[in-house]
């Protein structure tokens, strides 16, 4: 099955989906202007407020704005300050360790009630091939990288396989809550949240719902403080409202254009464009270029059911990149018919007036076929 591009949701969108499923999250509002942010801060009537710039990249807390403001996440006691800070966030670019050098423009901020966390745990539900279905994974050590916990303290990782016909059973949810270290009335509260997270997992066709930290407050509340939800692209047809939230403003426009033609394209910073069928061969081609002292300009996988039009569009994308000084075509015709590729290339060369050297290696089948 052809996978489309990943669906990207902003933090406030994931929190809204969770809220709709009865999952406990911090009270929050979304603002697009400084005055909206100030208004939201007053409406929250919270002891402490957290103001967060909404971009998809991680590392926001340590990021820097081109307005001079440091940090994309601020804790504030006085609501009056929220408007001032939002002014220095909205409309400005935020650069973090995960953004491009020029940063990403912030168009939205989240104004939320800041809650104290007395204990942090980790909880996730994900699809596991080995179990042929969903699995709950939890650890009493949350708020940190779960891979680190798995490496240093594997005994602190707990798993429960979920029967897809029965769903999460009471005893399973309570056992997981106990393993996460929730005690007394908090154990029942955490078990209830776990069941609601599974309902959300099913409702939105998720492949993963990861809550880190899944925490408790000094007042005795179990709260999902931060969550990451991954969705099954093949469920787009029945998850229209979720996929309509997709924030493409931070996506690479070339990658989006490629996805339209069902091409897997990832831009890189070299000058030799690659045009390959199959992800394995595409990666190997990038490696070979690198091995011989060159630098690939992209990763491009045509996929098996390629038509002449896609070949043409792929060439259009490659030649539009000003960094490209040569194009290497490496096709192995197993599923792909080499004649289709050859026709697509000759059409592209004629119509796009190719100005850079082209090296073509086609090997495999050229069964007779009709023009597409």
* Residues labelled catalytic: 122, 210
Provide the β-strand partners of residue 49: 76, 113
Per DSSP, the three-state class of 210 is strand
End-to-end CA distance of the chain: 22
User: What residues contact residue 158 under an 8 Å CB cut-off, 6+ apart?
Assistant: 137, 138, 139, 176, 179, 180
User: What residues contact residue 355 under an 8 Å CB cut-off, 6+ apart?
Assistant: 319
3-state secondary structure 19-78: HHCCCCCCCEEEECCHHHHHHHHHHHCCCCEEEEECCCCCCHHHCEECCCCECCEEEECC
List the one residue out of 46, 45, 41, 17 whose CA is nearest residue 29: 41
Sheet holding 264-267, edge to edge: 264-267, 298-301, 272-276, 326-333, 358-364
d(CA 173, CA 197): 11
Two structure tokens written together for 292: 């011989």
d(CA 76, CA 79): 7
d(CA 31, CA 180): 35
List the one residue out of 305, 313, 226, 218 whose CA is nearest residue 265: 313
Give yes or no for a contact between 45 and 114, defined as CB atoms under 8 angstroms apart: no
Give yes or no for a contact between 101 and 53, defined as CB atoms under 8 angstroms apart: no
Q: DSSP characters for 150-208?
A: HHH-GGG-EEEEPBTTTBS-HHHHHHHHHHTT--THHHHHHHHHHHHHHHHHHHTTEEE
d(CA 35, CA 193): 34
């Amino acid at each position: 099955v052809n996978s489309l591009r990943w669906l990207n949701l902003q933090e406030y969108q994931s929190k809204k989906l969770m809220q709709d499923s009865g999952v406990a999250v911090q009270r929050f509002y979304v603002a697009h202007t400084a005055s909206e942010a100030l208004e939201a801060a007053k409406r929250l009537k919270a002891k402490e407020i957290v103001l967060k710039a909404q971009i998809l990249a991680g590392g926001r807390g340590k990021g820097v704005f081109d307005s001079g403001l440091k940090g994309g996440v601020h804790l504030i006691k006085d609501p009056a300050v929220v408007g001032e800070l939002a002014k220095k966030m909205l409309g400005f670019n935020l650069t973090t360790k995960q953004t491009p050098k020029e940063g990403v423009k912030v168009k939205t901020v989240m104004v939320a009630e800041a809650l104290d966390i007395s204990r942090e745990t980790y909880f996730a539900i994900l699809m596991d091939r080995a179990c042929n279905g969903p699995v709950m994974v939890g650890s009493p050590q949350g708020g940190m990288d779960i891979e680190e916990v798995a490496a240093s303290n594997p005994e602190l990782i707990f798993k429960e396989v979920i029967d897809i016909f029965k769903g999460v059973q009471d005893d399973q949810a309570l056992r997981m809550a106990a393993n996460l270290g929730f005690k007394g009335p908090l154990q029942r509260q955490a078990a209830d949240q776990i069941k609601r997270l599974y309902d959300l997992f099913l409702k939105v066709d998720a492949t993963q719902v990861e809550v880190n930290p899944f925490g408790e407050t000094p007042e005795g509340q179990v709260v999902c403080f931060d969550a990451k939800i991954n969705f099954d692209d093949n469920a787009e047809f029945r998850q229209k409202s979720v996929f309509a939230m997709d924030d493409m403003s931070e996506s690479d426009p070339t990658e989006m254009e490629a996805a339209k033609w069902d091409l897997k394209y990832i831009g890189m910073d070299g000058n030799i464009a690659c045009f390959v069928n199959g992800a394995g061969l595409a990666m190997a081609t990038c490696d070979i270029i690198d091995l011989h002292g060159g630098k690939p300009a992209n990763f491009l996988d045509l996929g098996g059911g390629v038509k002449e039009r896609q070949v043409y569009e792929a060439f259009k994308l490659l030649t539009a990149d000003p960094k490209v000084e040569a194009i290497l075509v490496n096709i192995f015709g197993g599923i792909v018919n080499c004649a289709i590729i050859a026709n697509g290339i000759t059409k592209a060369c004629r119509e796009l007036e190719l100005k850079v050297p082209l090296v073509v290696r086609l090997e495999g089948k050229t069964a007779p076929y009709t023009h597409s």
